[in-house]
Structure 1
């Protein structure tokens, strides 16, 4: 085996040595100095980029004396661009040949920008963080770890985002948010986004936006804000593409994705797809519960579980430019997957009068599949290229079948039969939207109308095993059919006004919602409708020292989704049940945001936010002493308040060494009435994250990170704290074409413990679950093709971000 490895290394060396030697013989150098045009002082940490045919070849930062140097630039014609926040970009063309293999750009003078502030970018090796008037964006492609991390892993690095011990995403410590992909909702992410994002390579993402003050054009859902994952990139004449392969072990598995773009004349197409698995080997789980009252009890459940998650997704976006004013685009996105888990557990329930126990073999399976179709038409105007009229249509259909099978053995004082649960859940949605953008000098006006028609259904069945005939028999008292229709009519109007140093953005959204829920089996129904006016306002003030202040206010709605309203009772764990609540109402929240940002040598973002809401949707657990069951559901009982401060620092110690620190700390107050009893909880929440990266010679890169998550406070309990650590590295084998990467996560701890407790007037229960902590990854990224002219895409499209996601399960 060693001889084979040596032979392969020798062959690779023989293959690459001539290429490297040729590159060294046919390359030159570029140097110069950058200065401020007013003060004539050298400008440090200015980004210099060499471009060829519009594509970036190499970037560096100026040193403290304003100097910069590029080495090993292949012969050819290029442009040298100097950019920095607060300055007008400077472009210098040049050419390197065998006769003239060096270019001295001399003293490049940068002048202050005089145009209105649109956004503020970090001056780093490549700008990573951008502060806009209503959002913060994180440039994934500027982060070296994008070659090795998944989209879920990358969430730890984005300002205001964090992951808890069970890899659930938090926005400022809250799970009340909405995730979009390219500004659009994705049905793949509705049920459990972490499973999808865990298999998505970060290298396929361009940037992640955290929209803390969503403007009126967005649907009003997401109490804490919106997470927008941008994957689409520029597509030009010709073709290009990439292939990403990744393997994680012992937890995880192989996954891969690919995309290809082609454009010829007025027609363009982008096709993409991915598949993979996430397998978790057997780990331990412990559930305990103590109850009080007339018949107190002690329940202990000790067992092991293993799971397997498989996902597949794909799609294509088509574009046809009829002429310079009329553009048609269409999209198709099929997806499917499954989650399969096996539990082997031993239960014991002790009361003063008896002890009952049994062994349980539980098999749980969740499937999902769906198809999304979209069609957009955009019309421009000769008088102003930024004046646009867009019509969009979108259709989405999918299903989420679920099956739970429970088999009991080694019974002692336990007589309940084996049982089987099945739930066939389906969703259909159609959306029509009309948007109009009209710029007038420094004022930009947007308006639109929208209609969303949703039809959700759930056909659930409960069957018990008849030991006499060996067949399952349907229990009609636990079987039903549920239909839920939700129609939304909305209109919005937004105004953005730009001055030299100030940008104002304000708008209002009006929404009318009609809900009809039917229980077909017992002929009962729930009908309701509600009307909301949602204002939003934000302002950005720029100062002379490359700093700015943002202030924003908005109201947000949290509509209950089908998973929150579905009355299907999940009985996959004996003594515990979880279900939805079809009587849930929408929640209205008020958010205030104040942020200070400074961008010079590195970047600093400091923010303070306050939000409050009444009648919030809370997970509620109630113990019934008659049945001995703890049932978890949802209810509009919460009164929430939260005060949070956040910090993000991104600092280049040198041109090759960068350090970033981010985190937030806050205090949350929760109150609600459960079965007539006032329940209160409060506590500190927050997380901290530090990352450092270094670029070595010959395209080697290394990164290390550490994060800490404080316990998460709920109305009836709290979860445990969580620590995460990672080390990774990558190497470009072929410049801008082929990259290999590797990483290790949590090397000093094989397992991490996810712990939470929930309590009520007559019970206290605790859950402890082991998750694999230590893992290794190997990755390969290959880019191919060449492009010239950009494919055009609609600047407006449908974005349905108005419903609460998540499942009805919980303990």
Structure 2
């Protein structure tokens, strides 16, 4: 019945008449002003140079406004570069006036016309005369807000936020509403890491698996905005239980070249990067390279487990050890964009990223077995290398038409993820030797078609997508002792996802809006083991994912909305890999290829109020998940064995608040998320767990004299929950100060992390319980750090914004977090 209702609603725009009739009759409603004309759809460009009338020298930082003559409204703006040059792209056919303001000079207006025959206008030199009455201040009223509320998302316009000591995308996300980011770059939305990440509307393998490293490759000043989508529409893939985070980069086309170098050096982390962009006319080419690494870091570990049988007999296992860990990351990318003509454009990019995380552990193991009447103690030494390399190629073709918003796009993506993991274990004073080898190759093909069609001031979106994932997991365990040998096995796993969607946006009277859609996804999976260690399987499942959002605009910057949607999370290769991963002989992890996807239904009520000084978001939500995927631990003999299970169902009630106060030289921001965790499992061990969880964050940015800025932020979260127990709570604070050079081309800064930690250490605790065991582990590491950062930009900085975006969005599998705690 639900499917039939949604199908009927989806076709309402095809048979309904617009509430505001007429091709160009807005009846006094200027809400559509600045958008593309219904009759003409074409992107042109305007460029020129602002000079002093007497000296002929270029004037830097002149304020330039683009005014549409028909509506007499400002639709775009920019400032002139270091030599007075400027450029604005994406201008529709029509008559315009360019208005130039500069302190101490007379305002000047220049008219021009964009046509299909002459889309690129170069006004060359525009001279300004010195005003007899020097202006002390020029105010631009059409400033883009820092926060915007749309029917299905909140937009954080990072380019409009005069932020402090931000270095990369991780710092930017810490300032975005509803998000919290820990020190290792792991992002949570309402306390969940199950987020679908997009970059310019696409989520290639560049963003999969090691997300924290990918975020470090995106410079903060290249980010235009961040979209937080808690109720995604049908156009988006159904994955990501918490929602979607879409990072929009500047996508600047340079007339000439722009290059920058940046780096940071500290007592814990280091990073270096280089970016170069070349461009001319409608073609641009950009390249980047990054390297980031940590110093070796020592820590201490403790572990205690007690298990028992029905008679009350108990065994006890204790581990005490010393660890050393490090990570080394590297990446590079190249991007090409070409605007072929008025209706056709193509973009293509290749990205490469890698990470190596070597570690060493020396552990003293003591076992007192009363059940098996076995006791022993010995030393264990483990060393591990974990190398992950990721390369992706994306190509997008977009065709536009004369009609506004009518667009066809074709996208193809090829991704290849490679993982090489070697773990060597020496136990009982090297009497026992084990070597586990796990090599993974994941080749992913994605083909996507999207089409949008406006009908009577409504917008219809429809499309399809196919993802083919071919994964090969090659593993074995070598040993001097035959009882520990696992012969070589190759697990081939293929997943094919086919999807189709239909969605519509309907503008209703009295500032009401309705967005609804439906998405159908079919998933086929098959797996086989080359040497027959398990039984081959082949199966499939279908998911119907409806969504609906009803919104009311209350005032400028104020709106309220009610939404419902369905989401899905498929298990990743790390969850299904049947390799026996050994931490030591008493702690083993093995995947589960029989996992099924978890599904989530959500109802959300939200209110947004975004003004110039105060911005606030208030949300209440309810989520119900079934076939929840969690790690699950059992004790067999003297060993702890961890695998992954569909443990049961869970419900969450949550309240979410984010607020920001922006004063002249001071910005305060903060947020809190309070929610319940209620999970039930009546299949595995008849367990249930309930808890009240929280996370909060805060930040402050202060502008000082002489181009100095100071910034601080902090966050905390309660222990994360599973059906069997908790994983550590966490909190941290960071403070930084940055000095921008007078020529605006560079900066230098210093930052200190967690200055108040006791002895500079952090402790991470995990506590788990089952029907016959209880265990607790702690890990202590050095955490307090201090570092300096720098950045310098050179080249010709005359750019225009490219508004083309990629279309492919893949991030549809449940992943293990990258956190080390």
TM category, shorter? 0.7 to 0.9
Question: How far has the Cα of 1:678 moved from its partner?
Answer: 0.9
Cα pair distance change 1:391/1:303, threshold 3 Å: same
Please give the TM-score of this superposition, normalised by the length of structure 2: 0.81
Cα shift at 1:527: 1.0
Task: Give the aligned partner of residue 803 of structure 1.
Answer: 813
Aligned to 1:102: 134
Where 1:152 maps in the other structure, the secondary structure is helix
8 Å CA contact retained: 1:74, 1:96: no
In structure 2, what is the equivalent of residue 130 of structure 1? 148
SS at 1:610 equivalent: strand
- 1:362 equivalent among 374, 382, 389: 382
Deviations 1:607-648 (A, max 9, x none): 111110111112111111x3x111111111220111111111
Change (3 A) 1:165 1:656: closer
What SS does the corresponding residue of 1:620 show, helix, strand or coil?
Answer: strand
Q: Which residue of 2 aligns with 1:234?
A: 252
Contact 2:204 2:415 in 1 (8 A): no
The SS at the match of 1:158 is: coil
Matched, 1:584 2:581: no
Whether contact under 8 Å (1:555, 1:590) holds in the other structure is: yes
Aligned to 2:433: 418
Whether 1:223 and 2:244 are equivalent positions in the alignment is no
1:613 is aligned to 625
Report if aligned partners of 2:434, 2:484 keep a CA contact under 8 Å in 1: no
In the TM superposition, what is the alpha-carbon distance from 1:788 to its structure 2 partner? 4.8
* Pairing partner for 2:293 from 270, 277, 280: 277
| 2:615 is the counterpart of 1:603 | yes
Q: Is the 8 A contact 2:355 2:388 kept in 1?
A: yes
The answer to whether the 8 Å contact 1:319/1:791 transfers is: no
Q: What residue in structure 2 maps to residue 708 of structure 1?
A: 716
Given that residues 206 and 351 in structure 2 are in contact (C-alpha distance below 8 angstroms), is that contact kept between their aligned partners in structure 1?
A: no
Specify the SS of the correspondent of 2:787.
Answer: strand
Instruction: Tell me if 1:286 matches 2:308.
Output: no
Change (3 A) 1:164 1:808: closer
Contact 2:264 2:272 in 1 (8 A): yes
CA contact (8 A) 1:148 1:743 kept: no
CA apart distance, 1:574: 2.6
Question: Who is 1:656 aligned against?
Answer: 665
Distance 1:168 1:797 in 2: 25
1:492 aligns with 2:501: yes
1:529-552 residue CA offsets vs partner (Å, 9 max, x unmatched):
011111111233111364111222
The answer to whether residue 640 in structure 2 is matched with residue 623 in structure 1 is: no
TM-score, normalised by the number of residues in structure 1: 0.82
- Work out whether residues 164 and 710 of structure 2, in 8 Å CA contact, stay in contact via their aligned partners in 1: no
Q: Which moved more, 1:596-605 or 1:422-431?
A: 596-605
CA distance in 2, matches of 1:221, 1:461: 32
| Aligned mate of 1:347, from 362, 365, 374 | 365
Question: Which residue matches 1:251?
Answer: 268
> SS where residue 194 of structure 1 aligns?
helix
Q: What pairs up with 1:49-448 in 2 under 5 angstroms?
A: 51-52=79-80, 100=132, 102-103=134-135, 127-143=145-161, 145=163, 147-163=165-181, 168-197=186-215, 201-247=219-265, 249-253=266-270, 255-293=271-309, 295-352=313-370, 353-381=373-401, 383-410=402-429, 417-448=432-463
The number of aligned residues is 719
1:447-499 deviations in whole A, cap 9, x for unaligned? Answer: 11111111001010100036xxxxxx896645421010011111111111235
- What is the match of residue 723 of structure 1? 731
- Aligned pairs for 1:525-604 within 5 A: 525-544=536-555, 546-600=557-611, 601-604=613-616
SS of 2:813's partner is coil
Contact 2:440 2:471 in 1 (8 A): yes
Residues 302/186 of structure 1: CA separation in 2 closer, same or farther (3 Å cut): farther
User: Given that residues 470 and 492 in structure 2 are in contact (C-alpha distance below 8 angstroms), is that contact kept between their aligned partners in structure 1?
Assistant: yes
**Structure 1: gaps of 5 or more residues:** 1-24, 32-47, 58-70, 81-93, 111-122, 467-472
Q: Which residue of 2 aligns with 1:741?
A: 749
Distance 1:748 1:76 in 2: 54
Contact 1:666 1:686 in 2 (8 A): yes
State the secondary structure of the residue aligned to 1:185. coil
1:792 Cα shift? 4.4
Q: How big is the shift at 1:143?
A: 4.7
Distance 2:138 2:810 in 1: 52
Structure 1 residues 674 and 623 mapped into 2: Cα distance closer, same or farther (>3 Å)? farther
CA contact (8 A) 2:58 2:85 kept: no
Contact residue 62 and residue 102 of structure 2 kept, 8 A = no
**Cα shift readout 1:377-422 (whole Å, capped 9, x = no counterpart):** 21121x31521111111111121011100112548xxx7x210000
RMSD over aligned Cα atoms: 3.5
Contact kept? 1:153, 1:198, Cα under 8 Å: no
Q: 1:359 to 1:202 in 2, by over 3 A?
A: farther
Superposition deviation, residue 806 in structure 1: 2.1
**More moved, 612-621 vs 138-147:** 138-147
CA 766–245 in structure 1, closer or farther in 2 if over 3 Å, else same: same
- Following superposition, the deviation at residue 373 of structure 1 comes to 1.2
Cα deviations by residue, 1:731-752 (Å, 9 ceiling, x for unpaired): 1113431111111111111111
Cα shift at 1:265:
2.7
Give distance in 2, aligned partners of 1:733 and 1:78: 30
What is the rounded CA distance, in whole Å, between the counterparts of 1:100 and 1:321 in structure 2? 44
In structure 2, relative to structure 1, the CA distance for the partners of 1:290 and 1:153 (3 Å cut) is farther
Structure 2 residue runs without a partner (length 5+): 1-56, 64-75, 88-100, 111-125
Q: 1:146–1:198: structure 2 CA closer, same or farther, 3 Å change rule? A: farther
Structure 1 residues 103 and 163, CA, compared in 2 at 3 Å: closer, same or farther? closer
Query: Conserved in 1, the CA contact under 8 Å of 2:260 and 2:275?
Result: yes
Alignment partner, residue 780 of structure 2? 770
C-alpha deviation, 1:692, in angstroms: 1.6
Given that residues 221 and 556 in structure 1 are in contact (C-alpha distance below 8 angstroms), is that contact kept between their aligned partners in structure 2? yes
* Structure 1 residue 510 displacement after superposition: 1.1
For residues 135 and 107 of structure 1, the distance between their equivalents in structure 2, rounded to whole angstroms, comes to 29
- Alignment CA distance shift 1:201-1:796 (3 Å): closer
- 2:587 and 2:776 map into 1 onto residues whose CA distance is 12
How far apart are the structure 2 equivalents of 1:705 and 1:807?
22
Quick one: distance in 1 between partners of 2:138 and 2:293? 54
Rounded Cα–Cα distance in structure 1 between residues aligned with 2:737 and 2:385: 36
Separation in 1, partners of 2:308, 2:138: 82
TM-aligned CA distance change 1:107 to 1:342, over 3 Å = closer
Q: Note closer, same or farther for the CA distance 1:100–1:360 as it changes in structure 2 (3 Å cut).
A: farther
- In 1, the alpha carbon distance for the partners of 2:642 and 2:108 equals 63
Is 339-348 or 180-189 further displaced after alignment? 180-189
Distance change (3 Å), C-alpha of 1:319 and 1:311: same
What is residue 463 of structure 1 aligned with on the other side?
478
Q: Match for 2:523 among 508, 513, 520? A: 513
